[in-house]
Structure 1
Amino acid sequence: MVNDDNARAGGEFEELSMISPQGAPLRVKARFGPDLPRLVRPPAVGRRVQFEDDRAGLQVRLPEAESGNETAQTAIEAETAAVLTVHRAYSGTRYSGLFPVPIGYDINAAEPFIVYAAPRGRSVAALAQGVSTSQQRVIERDLVLAVRLMEAVGLVHQGLVPAAVRWDDHGIQLWDLGSVTHLGRPRRPYGIPPYAAPEQRHGEGLTDARDALWSVGQIMHQLVTGRPGHPDGPSADLPAHPSLAQTLAPVFAPRATDRPLPGTLLQLLMPGAGADFPAAAQPDPLDPYRRDFDAAMRRKRSSLRRAPLPPPPSAPPPAQPWYGEPRPPADTGEATSTWLYGGSTVHDPETAGTERGGYR
């Protein structure tokens, strides 16, 4: 059945061809809802999917009008790669419920897309000061665990904000893998304060898994206090919240090298964790050559594409996004986009991007 906040798609059923996460051709009958605002980072769009067997899903796709947009094409390819990497590493394990579940994808379609199983729960953006201390501990632990699991496959989530984190009685589910990049790549200006770490926002140094730990701390600060934290270091009110300061005080260090490693913090929150997943990945020395190859392939694909179609007539967007809750724009003094997950107006062409249960 569809969750209460996941209304059914309308229209007639049609055949949808895609590739399963295991790489097999897959054909299903599905019908689609309208494009919805602030669901994913533009120019990609999102819409509800209902399958003939009554399962619900979410499709993220790149409109055909953007077929000549190399940056957008690269972004959806990178999101697909990140989602499949995480899914193939942890599907069937006790950690699988922490991440979105891909159903299928087709990057070579006229409108490249990914289809996910429907999100679980609701975003933690709606839970500020509305959870118990025990629930707070579960969310905190799950977030650090998700950061550590992504580090283990060489990925770092750059877009951790409250609306990207779903929560229900089974724990969290971490979305927006389109804001993922590779461990050890040069940082590029990305994200909004206070959720993005200072070095990440300024594009300084190399991407580090501890960038995401800063974001975890800021999400938990918002959840516990109901207020955003300090964008460049610990908030003055941190000592007044011992349940937060006791475990997460070190993650508010302005520089990544002064924060604990995800594995170290996880051992504090979840002793004995990590025995059944790989050691933290190291930056890949061949990564620059792979990026050169990917760039060459993108140029080749671009040369084969027909000219982009003119934009469709504008239409008023639906009044309310179905996935997550809207977040007021941050008062940063800079122009920012209005998509759900935050992120800066800088697009990084190299950034990457329901099962229930969990590991308890």
Structure 2
Amino acid sequence: MSNRAPSVRAAELDAADPLAAHVDRFVPGDDLVAYLDGNSLGRPLRRTLETLPEVVRAQWGGRLIRAWDEGWLTQAERLGDRIGAACLGAASGQTIVAESTTVLIFKLLRAAIAARKGLDSSRDELVVLRDEFPTDRYIVERLAEDHALTVRWVDAPRDAGITPELAAEAVGDRTIAALFSGVAYRSGWWADMPAVTGVVQRSGALMLWDCSHAVGSVPLELDAWGVDMAVGCSYKYLNGGPGAPAWAYAASRHHAELRNPIPGWLGARAPFSMTEPFVPADGIRRLVSGTHPILGMVALGDMLDEIESAGMDAIRAKSVLLTEFALSLVEELIPGASLASPRDAARRGGHLTIDHPNAARAVESLWAEGVIPDFRHPSGVRIGLSPLSTSFAEVERGIRALAYALA
């Protein structure tokens, strides 16, 4: 059933797709019928099959340690600026590629605690959703435990996420910082980020956004929205590959007070002095701790070429069409499913979740057949559609196969 010819509607959508040429630039996969998990791990570009070995051969093998002076030392900042310009609406000098999402969230939240406690010692609360991504919750709880703080939990509907109204109920004159997802990992809820940011900041607190499911999926304007800090991974819609380094954004107005809790040599003002006490680098580089993961940045750079070429507005337009098409197929073919995502496309990111009692067994069987959605406990099927690598015909194959498996 999953290999049937595409419907007239799918064929028409693919024929009219201005980004259709990008789809064939990705590695197709040996047994792949439909990939519906681009919001978990993006597919590699064919180009990366050439660029990664070339970096190993020519730069690592050919130039060896000289390559650090020939570009590697500034690679994290240059890639950060490209992410900022193409995806975040961020001026240069505010975004850097480094370490993992987990480590960067910890660093920025710990820096926020130091900055706000230094101004007002009575502030003793961190705010986070009760159903936030586990890593985010774990970090908030550990920092609260280590610094004698209180966690203020926010409850949101399962098919939604943080709203300005919910944020207003949770923050106050005791709040140090709030940590929310720009696009919720389970429901796909795209928060009203500028409004929520304003609510948090008016309480005197700092706003930290986890943009892992937002970057490369929805247009972001972090500078214009007045965002304080943001973090995101690069292996979802940025297609950097498994374990690719994450990125962090900090508005330039915060750089002077940004105290890195894990100081490292490349975050120092004079990294090669070696014998002097630690003095943080100027600007966003002070957030760096260890040596840049150069090989882990190669695929990310290749994908940024695609994003820059397509433009985030066009990517978002296709994303809306993909999720609307998938939702129409779910409603037509899977009557026993319930939507656990926003029905309003303006509040939905690049993925949607449906609940069905047979979800776990269906997803397990589909993976063996080359149809790959994502299971989320207890009964959710998450359908992640990366616009540059996904066709409408592929979506249709995947949803038809899912309907058959669930039934």
More helix by share: 2
TM-score, scaled relative to structure 2:
0.24
Whichever of the two has the greater Rg, that structure is: 2
The normalised TM-score by structure 1 is: 0.26
